[in-house]
Amino acid sequence: MTSATPEVCMESLIVKSTKVALQVWKWAPLFATGFLLSRIFARGGRDGLAGYLLRMLLKKSGSQLPIVLLVIMSSSIFLSLFIPNVLTVLTLLAVIEKLREAVEAHPEAESKELVTPIGLSLIYGANIGGMGSMVGSPANALLLFWLSFYSVPGLEHINFLSWLAWGIPLVIVFGLLAWGLLVLFFIPRRFYKLELNLDDESGDHEPSRLRIVGAKLALLTGVFWISTSLLSSLLPSLKVMWEGFSMLFCLGFIYYVFFVQIEESNGEKRPLLRLEDCYTGLPWKGVFLAGVAGGMGAFLFWLGAPKWLASHMQAFLPTQLTPFAFYLTFAMVTIFATELMSNTAVSVAMFPVAYQLSISMGMNPLPVMIAVALASTCAFMSPIATPATGLAFGGMEGVSLKRMLVLGFFVNLLGGLWLTWFLTSILPWIYPVSS
């Protein structure tokens, strides 16, 4: 594989890991506030902030089935721009389950035909939305780690705002395409105007003070991170100051969320979050598997496996491969490998290979490593592909695996082509680095 001894490789790994730890420290406040926001949205389940907002959107937009699917996808895409997509699924699943019950209760509906697109709209929305921001998917956090580890040119251009600048149009177009496929292939024409009973039996039609405060805090947080990203791009000489402001904001955010008492209409006082809210209901199995995948990736890196695999892949690839073909190759390999294994394991394995191979072929590693990150979230066939998919599939009864596999195959192909074209044609305008 490599001529370096394990001791030399381990020493290099330790030195680089220390450098990375210092480099990514600046992103810690962003991910910390994103996680806490996700718990604010999720607290209360169906009656929490996210569940309440989705129920209100469904009521305002109408109850025809294609529109219901569009609202579910749009809501999960939007939410996944600001919190991890697996937590988006966890947050919205209770509302989606009520929709399933509404479908099964409808006298004209055939539940086996209609439950599947409702479940897939949540899966597609969460996975697609996870591509749109730095905090949307664990694969995006892994991307930042490997970009820092290798000191990839162009890393300095990546921040919360710059990612949103290309991530939002990417997910809007992809989301509309996926929604169109769902409606075209899964909703029989006779059900296009089928209206579901979306009455809220709880009678809770007014937002509580906790919900209002949580929504305002989420808005303030989004404005802060966009503003600091913009200022750090316009005034890079003050980078240290902006990072200091970010840390202060994070500390203030934590204090407000846990220690400021909010008075409800019934006179009860409580903070937005209690400590147990941070871990109750989390998908701990997925967290464990992600840790195992990360450990396996570190061990393989120590053995020199990425260089060995890259050298063998290069032997099978044409010497004059265009950037489009190069990105497409990695996108498709990552997408379909993710259908068989955890996307965390696949991305951990593919990032070093993408870096080594792009360097050997004289290309900038940034676009192809972004392709790996996005493609590892762009897998729609298998329930085991991503944590968000597994959680949604396991948490909702009646979703047809066969139909999911068939449509997911075509969405995978469409996604791989769309991501590749976007990275080739649009990304260079945001991150001006040579191919």
pLDDT in tens, 353-411: 899 888 888 889 999 999 999 999 998 998 888 888 888 887 777 788 888 999 999 99
pLDDT digits (tens, 9 = 90+) for 192-245: 666 666 555 554 555 577 778 888 888 899 899 888 888 887 777 777 787 888
In sequence order, what DSSP letters do the residues of 234-295 get, joined into one string? H-GGGHHHHHHHHHHHHHHHHHHHHHS-EE-TTS-EE-S--GGGGTTT--HHHHHHHHHHHH
Chain centroid, CA 84 distance in Å: 5
DSSP 8-state symbol, 303: H
Q: Which two tokens stand for residue 14?
A: 């330790």
What pTM value is reported for the model? Answer: 0.81
- How far CA 134 is from CA of 140, 161, 214, in Å, comes to 6, 9, 21
Give the pair of three-digit tokens for residue 172: 């809007």
Q: What is the mean pLDDT of the chain?
A: 80
* Nearest C-alpha neighbor of 98 from the set 123, 139, 68, 78: 68
d(CA 126, CA 174): 12
Residue 183 lies in a domain: yes
In a domain, 435, yes or no: no
Backbone angles phi, psi at 15, to 5 degrees: -60, -45
pLDDT at 174 over 50: yes
Is 239 in contact with 229 (CB distance < 8 Å)?
no
What are 127-136's pLDDT values in tens digits?
A: 999 999 988 8
- The rounded distance, in Å, linking the Cα atoms of 133 and 163 is 6
Domain that holds residue 333: 6-430
CA–CA gap between residue 73 and residue 367 (Å, rounded): 27
What separation in angstroms does the CA of 181 have from each of 69, 168, 341, 354, 380? 11, 20, 25, 31, 13
Cα distance between residue 126 and residue 124, in whole Å: 6
- Would you state the pLDDT for residue 195? 64
Tell me if 235 is assigned to some domain: yes
Residue 1 belongs to some domain of the structure: no
Check if the beta carbon of residue 142 is closer than 8 Å to that of residue 351. Answer: yes
Count each helix (H run) and each strand (E run) in the chain, helices first.
Answer: 18, 2
* Nearest-angstrom CA–CA distance, 84 and 318: 38
Tens-place pLDDT, residues 281-304: 665 555 565 566 556 656 665 666
78: in domain: yes
When mean pLDDT is compared over 23-27, 54-58, 323-327, 416-420, the highest value belongs to: 416-420
pLDDT at 154 exceeding the cut of 50: yes
| SS3 call for 432 | coil
Quote the CA–CA distance of 398 and 403 in Å, as a whole number.
11
Q: What is the pLDDT of residue 1?
A: 43
Residue 260 backbone dihedrals phi, psi, to 5 degrees: -85, 125
Q: Report the alpha-carbon distance of residue 103 to residue 86 in Å, rounded.
A: 24
Cα torsion 252, 258, 263, 266 to 10°: value is 160
DSSP 8-state assignment for residue 122 = H
Number of domains the chain is built from: 1
| Separation CA 375–CA 336 (nearest Å) | 9
